[in-house]
A and B are shown apart, each in its own frame.
Chain A
C-alpha cells in the first residue's frame, strides 16, 4: 500500500477545504488536499446566489455592519447557534470578501446613479452614490435586514471556486482528485490521517498527517430528493462517526427548499416566487393563500415546504412516474421577464424538463437542500473527541447556523471559517511533533482491505446496496422530512434499524474492479444508515419545533428545555442506535433568546436567571 505524508491532510477540496489548505500553505506547511472529483466540480461551484458580508457599499446596504449581520444570523438560527461563533463569522466576512477580490474574484461592483428594482411585484427606485463606484456591490436575500449578498452575475460559487483553486495552484498545493477517504487513522486519542481509496485504480492508499481537516460538504444524498451533487454523500461524516469518539452536532437540523424540479430535484431559485410566481395543485388551483393568507407563496422556505407537503398529503398532488409533485407557474410573468431576470430558470426548464416556462408549468416539490448537522467542532474548528482532527464548511457543525441557515451564509461560511480554522490549524502545527503508530495504522488499513474483500466475495451476504440505500432514502423522506411527529419518527427508526441490519449483509453483484461505483456505494452504505439513524433518533427525542426541525405534535419552540445542541455518538459498530448527549447551544448571549420576527409560532421561555447570567453587557 502506498503511503503519503504531509503536515496537513485536507479531506475535501471545495471552498472550505481549499481555503484551509491555502492558509496552511501560506504559512509554510506542506498540505495535501483530497477530493472525489476535480476540485472545481465540488458542490461549492453550484451556488449561484452569493455570499453574505456586511460591506455596506451599495445603496440598499447602507448602514450595514457586522452587528446587523450577526443579529440576522442569530435570528435565522432560531437561537440554535453558538453566538461566539456567529460573531467571529460576521466580523471576518467583509475582510474575507476583499481578500477574494485581491485573489481574482470578479465581484459585481457598484454602478453609480439611478436604477430600479422589484419587490413583491412592485417597482422601486434606488440611487447609488458616485463615491462608492467600483466597490463590491450586493443583492437582497431572504432573512436579511440589508442588501448584503456579494455576487458575480449568476455564478458566484463557480467564480469563487475557480479563484480559490487558482490560488492553490499558485501555492503549489497538492490537490489530488479521484481520491475518496473511507476511514480515519487514529489510536483513540490522536488522528493520524486517513485510509483512502483511489478512484482511478481502486487501490487503497494511506495518507499520514500531523493534522487532518474534514471539509467534505453536506450529506444531502442520503435523502431521496435533494438539490445536492451526487458526491454529497457523507463520506467524511461517516469516517468521523465510525471512530466512536467524534460526535455529530444537531443531526436533526436539515434544511428543505420548496422548489426542486421533478424528476432530478435541481433547484429553481426562490426568485421565481419572489417575482410573483405561484404554486398550483393537481387541479391547477392556487393553495398557499388558503394556508398563509398574508404571505402566501412568499412565506419562508420551511413554511412553504410544510404546506406543500401537507397539500400533497391531502391528495392534491400531481401523480407522476417519479412520485407526487405540485406545479410552479411563472407563465404570467411574461417572456421578457423570464428571459432576462430568470434566465437560469429558463435554461434549467429547457435542458432538464424540455418545458418552456412561458407556456408550461414547472413540476416542483420540497427537497433536501442543506445540512446544518455536521461534525461537531469547538470555535477553533477542532473536532470533539480526537486531537489533530478539524472540520470546516458544510461538513462541520461549527455552529453558526443553529437550526436554520440563511441563504448566502453558507458560501460565506466556507471561506470565513476556512480562514479562521486554517489559522488555528497553523497554530496547532507550530512546533507540534507526533508519532505515527505503525502498528495501529497497519491494523486499520488491513481492516479496510478485509472489508473490501468481503464485499467482493459476498462473504456477508448478497443484499443489493442500491436496494438498502433506497429503503434508507424512503424512510428519511417519510419520517424526517419537512414535517415530523412521534409515530412517524418511531416507524422511521424501526425501518432504519432494519436497513442497518441489511447493510451488514451487502455483497457486490459486479467484480468491484478499478473505479467501480458499486464498491464505493457498498463501502459507505452502513455509515449512511447510521447517519440516517442519528437524524431520526435525534428528531424523535427533540420534542419541540425550532427552525427546520418541525414537530407537528410539539409546535412550540421550547427554550426552557431545548436551548441545547444534540451530540450524537456511535459508540461501536454493533450498536443499533446512537448515544445522544446534549450541550448548551451558546455559552453567552449577545442577543438573548427572543422572537425571530417571522415564521410565527409560540415560545416556551428559557429560565430568566440563566439568560440574565449569560447575557453580555455592552459598554
Chain B
C-alpha cells in the first residue's frame, strides 16, 4: 500500500463563469515512481473528467506542463510525488491568460515575444543551394545551442516579480532570446538595433535582478549571466546614443 495522497487543485473554467474559482480536493493512492503526470491523468480518467491541464511530451522536453506546484513554478511531468509531502497543492502559472483549471495560454504570450524580439536571423545573404554551407566555429555553435535550450515553459516569467507587475515586461526568457541572436555571427543586427528592442523598462531595465527566474528554470539556463551581460551592454549602448544626440 502506498501513501494516500491529497491533491488540492485550483478549479475555474472561464467558459462557465457562473461557477466561481475554488480549490478542490482529490485523493489518490501513491504508486512507485509516480509523477504528477501519472497522478493527474489518473484523477481525470478515474474521478473527474472535467479537470483541465496540459501535458505533451511528458518527458521534460516540451514545456507544456508548467504549473505552480506547492507554491513554486515547475514542470509537472518531472515532479515525482515521492519528493512531495502528502498534500500537493496545484495552481496555474500566473501572468498568462487562464484557459481552465491548471492550463494557461503560453502560446500567445510567446508568439508576441518572438515578434517583439524579432526572433529570427537577420541577414542580407541569400541561400544558394549549389554552394557548401558557410563555416562556423564549433565552439560558437555550442554556445548558441546552450542559449537555445529554452523550452518556453514560462516558469521564469511566472516567478518574476516585474512580470507580475508590468504586463509589457518581456522577462528573462526574451532577454535570453536576444542573447542567442547576439552571439550568432549569422545575425547582422548591431548593438543599437538590439537596444531598440530591449533597451527600456519592458526589457533589460525593468529587471530587478532578484534572479527568481534562474532559480526555477528547469533547463538551468544561465539567465543571470545573460541579464548581467545585456544590461552592461545595453547600458553602454544607451550612453553612446545619448552622446550621439
A513 adjacent to chain B (CB < 8 Å): yes
- Which of chain B's residues has its CB closest to A363's CB? B33
Most-contacted residue by chain B among A170, A202, A230 (CB, 10 A): A230
**B100: which A residues are within 8 A, CB to CB?**
514-515
**B135: which A residues are within 8 A, CB to CB?**
109, 133-135
B26 adjacent to chain A (CB < 8 Å): no
Among B13, B83, B133, B149, point to the contact of A136 (Cβ < 8 A): B133
Instruction: Give CA–CA (A38, B156) in the complex, Å.
Output: 18
Among B50, B118, B186, point to the contact of A516 (Cβ < 8 A): B50
Residues of B whose CB lies within 8 Å of any CB of A are 13-16, 31-33, 35, 37-38, 44-45, 48-52, 54-64, 77-78, 80, 82-83, 99-100, 103, 105-107, 110-111, 114-115, 118-121, 123, 125, 127, 129, 131-138, 140-142, 144-145, 148-149, 151-152, 184, 186
Instruction: Give CA–CA (A98, B125) in the complex, Å.
Output: 14
**B48: which A residues are within 8 A, CB to CB?**
510
A448 adjacent to chain B (CB < 8 Å): no
- Tell whether, in the assembled complex, residue B133 and residue A98 are in contact, meaning their CB atoms are under 8 Å apart: yes
Q: Interface size (A, Cβ < 8 Å)? A: 72
Among B59, B64, B123, point to the contact of A266 (Cβ < 8 A): B59
Shortest CB-to-CB span from B111 to chain A, Å, is 7
CB-CB under 8 A for A106 and B144, given A229-B62, A351-B78: yes
Mask of A588-602 contacts with B, CB within 8 angstroms, 1/0: 000000000000000
Shortest CB-to-CB span from B151 to chain A, Å, is 8
Shortest CB-to-CB span from B223 to chain A, Å, is 17
Among B78, B83, B106, point to the contact of A38 (Cβ < 8 A): B106
**B137: which A residues are within 8 A, CB to CB?**
109, 134
**A103: which B residues are within 8 A, CB to CB?**
120-121, 127
CB-CB under 8 A for A514 and B129, given A109-B141, A133-B135: no
Q: How many A-B residue pairs have CB under 8 A?
A: 202
Among A134, A200, A320, point to the contact of B105 (Cβ < 8 A): A200
- Tell whether, in the assembled complex, residue B127 and residue A99 are in contact, meaning their CB atoms are under 8 Å apart: yes
Could you list some 22 contacts between A and B, CB below 8 A? A38-B106, A40-B152, A41-B152, A43-B56, A45-B57, A98-B127, A99-B127, A99-B129, A104-B121, A106-B141, A107-B136, A110-B138, A135-B132, A135-B133, A158-B61, A158-B149, A159-B148, A178-B99, A263-B38, A266-B59, A515-B100, A518-B50
- Tell whether, in the assembled complex, residue B121 and residue A134 are in contact, meaning their CB atoms are under 8 Å apart: no
**B61: which A residues are within 8 A, CB to CB?**
45-46, 158
- Tell whether, in the assembled complex, residue B132 and residue A111 are in contact, meaning their CB atoms are under 8 Å apart: no
Instruction: Give CA–CA (A515, B52) in the complex, Å.
Output: 7
**B107: which A residues are within 8 A, CB to CB?**
37-38, 177-178
- Which of chain A's residues has its CB closest to B13's CB? A514
- Which of chain A's residues has its CB closest to B184's CB? A104
Instruction: Give CA–CA (A202, B15) in the complex, Å.
Output: 9
Instruction: Give CA–CA (A576, B147) in the complex, Å.
Output: 52
Residues of A whose CB lies within 8 Å of any CB of B are 37-38, 40-41, 43, 45-46, 95, 97-99, 101-104, 106-111, 133-137, 152-153, 155, 158-159, 162, 165-167, 169-170, 175, 177-178, 199-202, 229-231, 262-264, 266-267, 320-322, 347-348, 351-354, 466, 508-511, 513-518
Shortest CB-to-CB span from A510 to chain B, Å, is 4
Instruction: Give CA–CA (A166, B177) in the complex, Å.
Output: 11
CB-CB under 8 A for A352 and B63, given A134-B135, A153-B145: no
**A101: which B residues are within 8 A, CB to CB?**
133-134, 136
Among A38, A110, A351, A511, point to the contact of B16 (Cβ < 8 A): A511
Please give me the 10 A-B residue pairs with the lowest Cβ-Cβ distance, nearest first: A134-B135, A514-B15, A510-B50, A38-B107, A518-B49, A106-B144, A351-B78, A177-B107, A166-B120, A170-B120
Interface residues of A, dominant DSSP: loop
Shortest CB-to-CB span from B19 to chain A, Å, is 9
- Which of chain B's residues has its CB closest to A152's CB? B145
CB-CB under 8 A for A41 and B62, given A229-B57, A513-B15, A514-B13: yes
Instruction: Give CA–CA (A352, B79) in the complex, Å.
Output: 8
Most-contacted residue by chain A among B32, B100, B133 (CB, 10 A): B133
- Tell whether, in the assembled complex, residue B60 and residue A102 are in contact, meaning their CB atoms are under 8 Å apart: no
- Tell whether, in the assembled complex, residue A106 and residue B148 are in contact, meaning their CB atoms are under 8 Å apart: yes
Instruction: Give CA–CA (A159, B58) in the complex, Å.
Output: 19
Among B16, B114, B136, point to the contact of A109 (Cβ < 8 A): B136
- Which of chain B's residues has its CB closest to A509's CB? B49
Shortest CB-to-CB span from B62 to chain A, Å, is 4
Among A41, A155, A201, point to the contact of B56 (Cβ < 8 A): A41
Instruction: Give CA–CA (A315, B78) in the complex, Å.
Output: 32
**B131: which A residues are within 8 A, CB to CB?**
98
Shortest CB-to-CB span from B108 to chain A, Å, is 8
**B14: which A residues are within 8 A, CB to CB?**
514
- Tell whether, in the assembled complex, residue B129 and residue A95 are in contact, meaning their CB atoms are under 8 Å apart: yes
- Tell whether, in the assembled complex, residue B15 and residue A169 are in contact, meaning their CB atoms are under 8 Å apart: no
- Which of chain B's residues has its CB closest to A101's CB? B133
CB-CB under 8 A for A354 and B80, given A152-B145, A170-B120, A264-B37: yes
Instruction: Give CA–CA (A353, B82) in the complex, Å.
Output: 10
